Amino acid sequence: MVQSINRIILAATDGSKEDDMEAESNRARSELVEWTARPWWRRLAG
């Protein structure tokens, strides 16, 4: 998790389009992992 955050920060400061896209997908993946780790009733609540 920390490594992916560091990669996102590095990619965001680089400025190239591919790195920005990779950072966005990494962030979305980590958000999805956190979301799926929650119980189903928490997912429904938002």
Please list the pLDDT of the chain residue by residue as tens digits (46 residues).
666 766 766 665 656 788 889 999 999 999 999 989 999 888 888 6
pLDDT number for residue 19: 85
Q: Is 23 exposed, middle or buried (0-12, 13-18, 19+ CB in 10 A)?
A: buried
Alpha carbon distance 35, 21 (integer Å): 21
pLDDT number for residue 17: 83
pLDDT number for residue 22: 92
